């Protein structure tokens, strides 16, 4: 693997670990306001983002590279409302999509078609991530100040369970 590609993938491993850290912070926020279903949803996201980071980590090693790490920035810890938190998630996931798109640009630039094929899985994953979170944001906007609607959504989100994807 070319060093430019290895460096870009290492940067993405760090970004995925930050995502996991951010979702863990959001889990704590939701626990603190007694929305345990939202907190459980966030815990699944923590696990999913760790999986994403490790998938890239393993790929770097599989291709003969070496994973190197940087400090993980402190995530935000407080939000104004559940809607504010999920809007933050949506913006974050849109940013992750851009990072993956940039990785594909690097792969194409260095003619690393194996890595481009590997990254296609992440593009599909990001479409799903944005659609899921966008749907939750839409529902929270519809709910507005209706606490019963919020508790119903919280109950629904509590049913999410992370299932390890097949690599």
We report the CATH number of the domain holding residue 44 as: 1.20.1260.10
Range of the domain at 54: 3-157
Total domains in the fold of the chain: 1
Tokens of 75: 């995530």
> Is 105 inside a domain boundary?
yes
pTM: 0.92
- Tell me the pLDDT tens digit for each residue of 85-139: 999 999 999 999 999 999 999 999 999 999 999 999 999 999 999 999 999 999 9
Task: Quote the tokens at residue 150.
Answer: 């919020």
Contacts of 94 (CB under 8 A, 6+ apart): 130
Tokens encoding 78: 């407080």
- With bands split at pLDDT 50, 70 and 90, how would you rate the model's confidence at 167? low
Residue 69's pLDDT band (cuts 50, 70, 90): very high
User: pLDDT at residue 16 above 80?
Assistant: yes
Domain presence at residue 111: yes
Confirm whether 167 is domain-assigned.
no
Please give the Cα distance from 154 to 11 (Å, whole number).
Answer: 34
**162 belongs to a structural domain:** no
Mean pLDDT rounded to a whole number for the chain: 96
* Rounded average pLDDT over 145-155: 94
Name the region of 163 (left: φ>0; alpha: ψ -120 to 50; beta: rest).
beta
pLDDT confidence bin for 9, thresholds 50/70/90: very high
Q: What percent of the chain has pLDDT over 70?
A: 99
Residue 163 domain flag: no
Rounded Cα–Cα distance for residues 154 and 150 (Å): 6
Judged against a pLDDT cut of 70, whether residue 15 lies above it is answered with: yes
In a domain, 164, yes or no: no
Mean pLDDT of 61-88: 96
Looking at the domain assignment, is residue 166 inside a domain? no
Tell me, yes or no, whether 56 lies in a domain. Answer: yes
166 has pLDDT over 80: no
pLDDT of residue 162: 84
User: 167 vs 26, 52, 104, 115, 151, CA distance in Å?
Assistant: 27, 10, 19, 15, 35
How far apart (Å, rounded) are the C-alpha atoms in residues 146 and 112? 51
**Predicted pLDDT at 81:** 97
Closest CA to 152 of 84, 82, 63, 57: 82
Q: Say yes or no to pLDDT of 44 above 70.
A: yes
Asked if residues 9 and 65 have their Cβ atoms less than 8 Å apart, the reply is: yes
């Amino acid at each position: 693997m070319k060093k430019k590609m290895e460096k870009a993938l290492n940067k993405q491993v760090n970004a995925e670990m930050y995502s996991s850290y951010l979702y863990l912070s959001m889990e704590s926020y939701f626990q603190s306001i007694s929305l345990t279903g939202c907190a459980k949803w966030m815990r699944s996201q923590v696990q999913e983002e760790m999986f994403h980071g490790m998938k890239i980590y393993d790929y770097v090693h599989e291709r003969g590279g070496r994973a190197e790490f940087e400090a993980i920035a402190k995530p935000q810890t407080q939000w104004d409302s559940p809607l504010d938190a999920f809007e933050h998630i949506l913006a974050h996931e849109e940013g992750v999509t851009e990072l993956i798109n940039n990785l594909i640009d690097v792969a194409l630039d260095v003619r690393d078609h194996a890595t481009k094929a590997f990254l296609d899985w992440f593009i599909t994953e990001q479409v799903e991530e944005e659609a899921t979170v966008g749907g939750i944001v839409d529902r929270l906007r519809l709910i507005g100040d209706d606490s019963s609607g919020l508790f119903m959504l919280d109950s629904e989100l509590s049913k999410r369970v992370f299932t390890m994807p097949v690599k």
